[in-house]
Copies of this chain bind each other. A is one copy, B any other.
Amino acid sequence: MKIIEGGVCAANGFKANGIHCGIRKNKTKKDLSLIFSETEASAAAVYTTNLVKGAPLTVTKKHLENGKAQAVICNSGNANTCNANGIEIAEKMSDLVSKELSIDASNIVVASTGVIGQPLEIEPIANGIPELVKGLTKDGSEAASEGIMTTDTVKKEIAIEFTLGGKVCHMGGIAKGSGMIHPNMATMLVFITTDVAISPKMLSKALSSDIENTFNMISVDGDTSTNDMVTVLANGMSGNDEITSEGEDFDEFMKALNTVTIYLCRMIAADGEGATKLLECKVSGANDEKTAKTVAKSVICSSLLKAAMFGSDANWGRVLCAIGYSGADVDVTKVGVSFASAKGTIEVCRDGAGVDFSEEIAKEILLEKEIEVIITLGEGTFGATAWGCDLTYDYVKINGDYRT
């Protein structure tokens, strides 16, 4: 397996594009993206568990009932959520793309991201779609990744090459993250494409299983979005024997999918709103997986720890505190904590109490951009990893006046 260029266009048969159509006032910011597969693809998606759901999710869910799709249309700048005419607008987006691409409207995934509760005008989208379709290209992944960004500061894109039953296969993904990131059985916007042949049922199985250890283990701010969605389109153009059951090929596919999703998870967490650092919390020694996950997520969500990490302060008491209130059944007198980065690893707590450590070395380690919080529970053999970021002045600034 190797990392390659091309993002969502790396897989055979996929093209993409992203343009500024006018939803955003700032003309230098793209706001409309399209991903297209030459042939109908198996499709699977997971959605937010927020009861307040973006209208596009309702339309997409209906379209994916048969497990097939051929295109993804997504705008940024407006979430099309909590609007009286939301469904109507989402359907119109789908109809316009269907007409321009001459494909079935029910084969289109619709997504929106941005402000909640402001009516989304169809005009700029209608005006933009011809240009968007005309510009579809094998080099279009970067433009598409730009078109879905909100407060993201970097594009989030990855592609890999791997082999299945002797056939060279590809998989790529783009994502937007930044704020309102605390996925719960679902996630932020992620679009993944692959040329692997896999049945809709197995694709859905792979995705549902994967997100439990990837996107559902990220938190930027504890707020679960209304518009979260991860979609995978698999068009089968690599020519492998279709995966229709568990086995070696399915395991290999899961490995590929996990590589793509973990990469995007880390990018989303590192680019959390206002973030200066990626935090990775690695828990081991738990009696079961649920305990390990609960502890990892509780620690990664602690505002106090996040602020301490911003200040490069080895305040391990806040790690213990977050373990203690996590709800997990843990013997706190067995807990160990270390901090690690490219500059090294330092143990700060053993058996639930502090150890003598050099504040100087700890500071040097914590000044890095990628920090690991390593927790040992000293009981069993289960582990989990969660991703997050530090809490900074800029998070407050960005969210103090997001709508203007």
Q: Which residues of A contact B (CB under 8 A)?
A: 48-53, 79, 81-84, 115-119, 179-180, 182, 184, 221-226, 301-304, 307-308, 310-311, 313, 315-318, 320-325, 330, 332, 349, 352-354, 391-393, 395-404
Q: Given contacts A51-B323, A116-B317, A354-B83, is CB(A303)–CB(B400) below 8 Å?
A: no
Report the minimum CB–CB distance from A376 to chain B (whole Å). 15
In the bound assembly, the distance between CA atoms of A395 and B397 in angstroms comes to 12
Shortest CB-to-CB span from A217 to chain B, Å, is 17
Query: A51 vs B330: C-alpha distance in the bound complex, in angstroms?
Result: 8
Interface of A is mostly: loop
Q: List 20 A-B contacts (CB under 8 A).
A: A48-B325, A50-B321, A52-B320, A52-B324, A116-B317, A117-B316, A119-B354, A182-B325, A184-B325, A222-B222, A222-B302, A223-B304, A226-B321, A307-B396, A307-B398, A313-B403, A315-B402, A391-B399, A393-B396, A395-B396
Nearest to A317 among chain B residues (CB) is B116
| A352 to B: closest C-beta gap in Å | 6
Q: List, in ascending order, chain B residues with CB within 8 A of A50's CB.
A: 321, 324-325
CA distance A168 to B223 in the complex (A): 49
Apart from A51-B330, A222-B222: 14 A-B pairs, beta carbons within 8 A = A48-B325, A50-B321, A52-B320, A52-B323, A52-B325, A82-B317, A116-B320, A223-B318, A303-B395, A307-B399, A311-B401, A313-B402, A392-B396, A393-B397
- Report the separation of the CA atoms of residues A256 and B321 in the bound assembly, to the nearest whole angstrom: 33
Q: Which residues of B contact A318 (CB under 8 A)?
A: 116, 223
Say whether B349 contacts A311, CB under 8 Å.
no
Q: Please give, as numbers and ranges, the residues of chain B lying within 8 Å of A223 by CB-CB distance.
A: 302-304, 318, 321-322, 325
Chain B's closest residue to A314 (CB) is B403
Residues of chain B contacted by A179 (CB below 8 angstroms):
304
B400, A310: Cβ atoms closer than 8 Å: yes
Q: Which residues of B contact A117 (CB under 8 A)?
A: 316-317, 320, 349, 353-354
B residues within 8 A CB of A308?
A: 399-402
**B residues in contact with A393, CB < 8 Å:** 393, 396-397
